[in-house]
Every structure is written in C-alpha cells, then in structure tokens.
Amino acid sequence: MKNIILFGKPGAGKGTQAVFLRDHFNLIHISTGDVFRYNIKNQTPLGIMAKQYMDNGDLVPDEVTIQMLESEVDKRPDAAGFIFDGFPRTISQAEALDGFLSKKDMAIAATLALDVDEDILVSRLLSRGKDSGRADDQDEEKIRNRFAEYNEKTAPLIAYYKAQEKFHAIDGSRPIEAIADHLTRIVDQL
C-alpha cells in the first residue's frame, strides 16, 4: 500500500499532481477541504460538529478532522493507497495521522513536497483567482499571509518527515509533465 502526503504551498500544483498520481497508481485522493465540505453539506455528525466550530470562528480540532479522514479510509478497505492532500498541516496532526494509520497496520510511505518560489506562486494564484473567482486568490496580501501561515505551521513537517526518511522535495516550477515524471519515479521506488 502506498500512502502519500502531497505537500506544498497554495498554488504549488498539488491538485494537478494529485489527479495524475491518483490515476497513474490507482490511489484514492483525499482532499481535506473536500472531506469537510462533504460532511458539512450532508450534515453528518462530524460535519455538524465541525460547522459549530467554524461558525464560532474556531479551528476544527484535530480529533474531528482525523475522525473524518479515518472514515474516508474506512470506506475504501481495498484501496491500493491514499494521497493525503491538505493534511497534515502541523506536527500534532502528523502524529495523529501516523497513530490512526498505525492502528490499521498502515503507514505513510512518502511525503512529496512541491517546492516553488513564492513570487511564482503569487502570480499563479492571482491568475487562478481571475479564472475561479476565489476571493482568497485575488489579493496578494492575503496570498502572502497564507504563505506566512504555511511557513510558520506547516514547514516544520519537513524536519518531521526527513527524520523518518520519507521526505522528497520536487521542483514544482517545471512543466507539469516533468513534475509528474519525477513523482512517478519516486513512487515507483516505494
């Protein structure tokens, strides 16, 4: 089983590469944002709980998020593996993910980090914002704030996964096909 974490700042190309990896290796792509939206829209018990936190302006506790992810994994017992996109974002979340996977005799095989210069990402996101209408992709100050948040909270995961020898940095500024080829070579060796 190949369980992968796709890692990178907003605009790094995680969504594009997740689709490629999903299709090429027959993996299940679990986007934390999609899981949240599904649970809230369908008013599942976890979705109702998450919405209460969000409505109060609070972050959804890691335990709730982990339960949602665990539910997604449980729905697919015959999966060849999973791509975790958007989770973990902190060391405590990584430890919780490791714990829940361990209970299922599973583990993260690799963390694939798409590394792109922030100025390139700003340009990508502003362009995406024009096409998608996403408000958070239309304001450079908000974009740079998201990078600062990422650098503060998520970047420490690099050391966490390097210590486990599961971290792979990939130059995400190259053409999509070149990135996909590099990712394929890494995943083939897992």
Catalytically active residues, by annotation: 14, 89, 128, 134, 146
> 88 with 34: CB under 8 angstroms?
no
Q: How far is CA 162 from the centre of its chain?
A: 17
Angle at alpha carbon of residue 151, lines to 148 and 153, rounded to 5°? 105
Q: To which residue do tokens 């990178």 refer?
A: 8
| φ, ψ dihedrals at 56, nearest 5° | -90, 0
* Number of Cα atoms under 13 Å in the Cβ half of residue 12: 24
